[in-house]
């Protein structure tokens, strides 16, 4: 059993203009595990993700990947140097670049090596046949798979996903999110997935971290959180699951 979490955040906090938005949040995720950060709109989920990505600097706290500090009081690894991938709802591909060039964007090494890596990544997400297409020739779900291949290209240790499936219709969404998680789990990536939908968290998470007003109010396996909510508010939040 791996004992060092792939991602560990300890006591991170953030205020904007004197208002606390993220308050003493701690989480850890093992390789190949999915934690869903679940809570209503405005509770601080995206801000938490942005701090882990390095887009926003925390006021306090420590962030580690594989035990190595990437952010604490005196130090912040720049976002592009963090072994962290990002997928957001607005996962725009470059419209003027082919699928292959979208995935290869930012890759180093010879053209031949890049092409081999792109072929491999697209095969992983089931998009091998579409390598020379352009984004406008693809459906929303297909574009999302290309975005996943692109996010996987630098072999991130951690994948941060901010409601990445919200733009897709229901049937497609189930298929894409299951496939996405299969790929990430096979790579041993730790996934932190933000959602405001309890049903999505129940379906996808190994662990749910329930967030409210900037704080984690409950953490646990989906089944436990659903059956033993910490308070009435948590119970109500789960009651309109679909
Ligand atoms: P969530 O993703 O859970 O919907 P956010 O993390 O986006 O919540 O936002 C939490 C709160 O912090 C909101 O009230 C939002 O308006 C505020 N906020 C987020 N970013 C900023 C910012 N850069 N400046 C000021 N307030 C912000
Ligand atoms: Mg958000």
What's residue 2's pLDDT?
A: 54
What's residue 242's pLDDT?
A: 57
What's residue 165's pLDDT?
A: 81
For ligand 1, mutation pick of 16, 48, 192 (most atoms within 8 Å of CB): 16
Encode pLDDT of 217-238 as tens digits.
Answer: 999 999 999 999 999 999 988 8
What's residue 180's pLDDT?
A: 87
Task: Specify the pairing of strand 75-76 against strand 60-65.
Answer: unpaired
Locate the ligand 1 atom nearest the alpha carbon of residue 162 and give its number: 2
Tell me how far the alpha carbon of residue 116 lies from the centroid of ligand 2, in angstroms: 36
> 44 CB less than 6 Å from ligand 1?
yes
> 210 CB less than 6 Å from ligand 1?
no
Tell me how far the alpha carbon of residue 22 lies from the centroid of ligand 1, in angstroms: 9
Return d(Cα 87, Cα 159) in angstroms, integer. 8
What's residue 193's pLDDT?
A: 96
Closest C-alpha to 158, from 239, 82, 50, 54? 82
> 214 CB less than 6 Å from ligand 1?
no
Tokens of residue 166, six digits: 């919200």
Spans of the chain below 70 pLDDT: 1-2, 90-91, 242
Tell me how far the alpha carbon of residue 215 lies from the centroid of ligand 2, in angstroms: 15
Return d(Cα 132, Cα 203) in angstroms, integer. 34
What's residue 83's pLDDT?
A: 95
Place of tokens 């033993």: 228
What's residue 3's pLDDT?
A: 77
What's residue 124's pLDDT?
A: 87
Tokens of residue 157, six digits: 């240790």
Tell me how far the alpha carbon of residue 58 lies from the centroid of ligand 1, in angstroms: 13
Locate the ligand 1 atom nearest the alpha carbon of residue 49 and give its number: 6
Tell me how far the alpha carbon of residue 41 lies from the centroid of ligand 1, in angstroms: 9
Contact 199, 50 (CB under 8 A): no
User: HSE of 234 in the Cβ direction (CA atoms, 13 Å)?
Assistant: 20
> 40 CB less than 6 Å from ligand 1?
no
Total-model pTM: 0.91
Give DSSP secondary structure letters for the chain. Answer: ---S-SEEEEEEEEEETTEEEEEEEEEEE-TT-EEEEE--TTSSHHHHHHHHHTSS--SEEEEEETTEEEEETTEE--GGGSSEEEEESS----TTS-HHHHHHTT--S-HHHHHHHHHHHHHHTT-GGGTT--GGGS-HHHHHHHHHHHHHTT--SEEEEESTTTTS-HHHHHHHHHHHHHHHHHHT-EEEEEES-HHHHHHH-SEEEEEETTEEEEEE-HHHHHHS-SSHHHHHHHHT--
């Amino acid at each position: 059993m791996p004992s060092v979490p792939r991602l560990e955040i300890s006591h991170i906090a953030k205020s904007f203009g004197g208002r606390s938005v993220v308050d003493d949040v701690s989480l850890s995720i093992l390789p190949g595990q999915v934690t869903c950060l679940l809570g209503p709109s405005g509770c601080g989920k995206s801000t938490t993700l942005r701090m882990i990505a390095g887009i926003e600097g925390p006021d306090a706290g420590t962030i580690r990947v594989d035990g190595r500090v990437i952010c604490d009081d005196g130090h912040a690894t720049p976002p592009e140097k963090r072994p962290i991938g990002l997928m957001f709802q607005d996962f725009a591909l470059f419209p003027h670049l082919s699928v292959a060039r979208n995935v290869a964007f930012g890759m180093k090494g010879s053209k031949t090596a890049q092409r081999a890596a792109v072929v491999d990544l697209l095969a992983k997400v089931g998009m091998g046949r579409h390598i020379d297409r352009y984004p406008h020739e693809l459906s929303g779900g297909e574009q999302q798979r290309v975005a996943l291949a692109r996010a996987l290209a630098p072999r991130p240790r951690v994948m941060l996903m901010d409601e990445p499936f919200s733009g897709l219709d229901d049937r497609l969404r189930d298929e894409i999110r299951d496939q996405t998680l299969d790929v990430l789990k096979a790579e041993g990536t730790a996934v932190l997935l933000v959602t405001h939908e309890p049903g999505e968290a129940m379906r996808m998470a190994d662990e749910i971290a329930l967030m409210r007003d900037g704080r984690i109010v409950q953490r646990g396996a989906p089944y436990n959180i659903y059956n033993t909510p910490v308070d009435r508010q948590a119970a109500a939040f789960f009651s309109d699951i679909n």
